[in-house]
Structure 1
Amino acid sequence: MRTITKKSTAKCHLELYTYYLIAESKYSGCNRLSEIFEDLSHDSVNRFLLRESYKPVDLFNEFKQHIELSGGTLSIDDTVIEKLYSNPKLSKFIGYFWSGNKHKTIKGINLVTLLYTDPNGISVPLNYRLYDKEDNLSKNDYFRMMLSEVLAWGLRPIYVTGDSWYSSKENLKFLKKQELGFMIGIAKNRQVSIVKGQYQ
């Protein structure tokens, strides 16, 4: 993240942009913000977004002082942010993804999130990835990378939960190797072995 050495004179800043996103949850964008604040240009908002570079570790550092880092439950999930009128050829993040909410494939941005609930019941997102087809990685690859990162940052969950999308053998072996308890959904067509050599 950019280190601020002196007070910014820019008209668009983090506090203003954060309040805007909270208030304008449906049609957020540079043009809309400049319409609301008549003395704030679209270019000023765009420069702010290009100037700042936030990473997942910045999100973790923002929340870690408000939660207990040990003893909670970490949940993996992904959601599709609809972009029905955008051209996938013009954006690296827009593609076609299965939406559990819509029960079909839709065009949008696929956001993978790790949500942590501490022993006191406080739930916060601690890591994320925007699915990028140019990475040549799957959401399962992202999951293992993201989990490794939060563990390296100092998180010590007891359990990891997720739906059947994340129940690959590689993921389950990875969780076992990390000595984490897990509750992951199993797909209907999957066979499991509770007793070695016996599958059901």
Structure 2
Amino acid sequence: MLRKQKTYGLSLKEEIVQNTAAYLIFDDTVINKKYANKIDSEAPLKEALVRRKYSGNEHQVIRGIGIVNCIYFNPETEQFWILDYRIYDPDSDKKT
């Protein structure tokens, strides 16, 4: 579904098959970037997104990009919808 459109959250409200047995899942993931020191963009965001973070997959601290996903999962239909995501960037968002 997300291949067709790149919208999240409220725009998915009509497409989500709601269920009282459903789960709201928050997942934090670290994407390994061991060969990258800094990821820049041409846009106003010039801070480094690559930082040292603990990776449960590697069982150690690695250089990577942290992402938190919010997912709605319906176990009866075995469908899931990505409601939102955030890139861990405390230098820019002043929230984390």
Same fold (TM over 0.5): yes
Equivalent in 56, 63, 85 of residue 35 of structure 2:
85
Larger strand proportion, structure 1 or 2?
Answer: 2
Determine the structure 2 residue equivalent to 1:163. Answer: none
Aligned length: 84
- Whether 2:16 is the aligned partner of 1:67: answer yes
Who wins on radius of gyration, i.e. which is larger? 1
Conserved? CA contact 2:39–2:49, under 8 Å:
no
> Residues 89 and 66 of structure 1: is their aligned pair in 2 closer, same or farther, counting only changes over 3 Å?
closer
Gaps of 5+ in 2: 41-46
Give the residue type in structure 1 aligned to 2:79: I
Deviation track 1:45-66 (CA, whole Å, cap 9, x = no partner) reads xxxxxxxxx7xxx312454333
Among the aligned pairs, what percent are the same residue?
Answer: 31
Cα deviation for residue 78 of structure 1 reads: 0.6
Q: Aligned Cα RMSD in Å? A: 2.6
Give the residue type in structure 2 aligned to 1:82: N
Gaps of 5+ in 1: 1-17, 20-53, 139-200
Cα deviation for residue 108 of structure 1 reads: 1.2
Give the TM-score normalised by the residue count of structure 2.
Answer: 0.69
Conserved? CA contact 1:80–1:111, under 8 Å:
yes
Give the distance between the partners of 2:11 and 2:55, measured in 1 at CA.
Answer: 29
- Whether 2:95 is the aligned partner of 1:137: answer yes
Give the distance between the partners of 1:92 and 1:62, measured in 2 at CA.
Answer: 31
Give the TM-score normalised by the residue count of structure 1.
Answer: 0.36
Deviation track 1:32-75 (CA, whole Å, cap 9, x = no partner) reads xxxxxxxxxxxxxxxxxxxxxx7xxx312454333224522101
Equivalent in 67, 78, 81 of residue 121 of structure 1:
78
Deviation track 1:81-133 (CA, whole Å, cap 9, x = no partner) reads 11112124854321111101001111111000011112533112111100012
